[in-house]
Amino acid sequence: MKTRTVIAMMVAGALTAACSTDPYTGQQKISNTAGGAGIGALAGAALGTLAGGDDRRNALIGAGVGALAGGLVGAKMDQNEAELRAQLQGTGVSVTRVGNQIMLNMPSDITFGVDQDAVRADFYPVLNSVALVLRKYNQTLVDVYGHTDSTGSDQHNYDLSQRRALSVANYLSGQGVDQRRFAVSGFGKTRPIASNGTADGRAKNRRVEIQLSPLT
């Protein structure tokens, strides 16, 4: 439905969940460990159409990045989650875990200037912290999603969301995260998480998300 794009230069069993208390938030979360046995300044025109997750996976495995299997999947994602929560505490970036995937939600109000696609300099330390964890745990695929509110034209929102997602991916790659792990997508206003009828809702909808999935 929406065009997905990949960073240029990319080479194209079942776990039982158990609940535990998150040490940083006090909330209940799923622990799969318990249940389980350069990109440079790329412009939009430099992007190709999406090569699927299998293409990234094959490229990484072919380059010698070992895939995860069995209980290691949940264990590694538990470690990823714990370190991301520790690094991002108090930054305004939320960390959500669903199964073996981790989603980072970065509100655009703290990431970008109004209607701009360049990452704000005061947000660099936050992305540096994300890059630190991504480099340490390199057995994940990294999908970067851009979203906007409903203000403005559909095409403008789509283009802006894509450029913002690309800016985040570019920055992380510049901090040493393997570019072959990335795919970038812009969804414009099509995936709201709150009502666009209020200022608070629109602020929630303007965001960049980073989804981490295990390399299996």
- Cα Rg of the chain (Å, integer): 17
Q: What is the pLDDT of residue 13?
A: 33
Q: What is the pLDDT of residue 150?
A: 96
Q: Which CATH number fits domain 4-8+46-214: 3.40.190.10, 3.40.630.30, 1.10.3720.10, 3.30.1330.60?
A: 3.30.1330.60
Place of tokens 């040493």: 176
Provide φ and ψ at 98, rounded to 5°.
-130, 110
Provide φ and ψ at 81, rounded to 5°.
-60, -45
List, run by run, the mean pLDDT of 10-residue segments along the chain (216 residues).
39 35 41 37 32 80 91 95 97 97 96 95 97 96 97 96 98 97 97 96 96 96
C-beta of residue 205 within 8 angstroms of C-beta of residue 147: yes
Q: What is the pLDDT of residue 52?
A: 53
Q: Give residue limits of the domains in the chain.
A: 4-8+46-214
- Would you list the DSSP string of 149-168? -SSS-HHHHHHHHHHHHHHH
Query: In 53-75, which positions are buried (b, 16+ CB within 10 angstroms) versus exposed (e)?
Result: eebbbebbeeeebeebeebbbbb
Taking the model in full, what pTM does it have? 0.77
Q: What is the pLDDT of residue 51?
A: 43
C-beta of residue 184 within 8 angstroms of C-beta of residue 162: yes
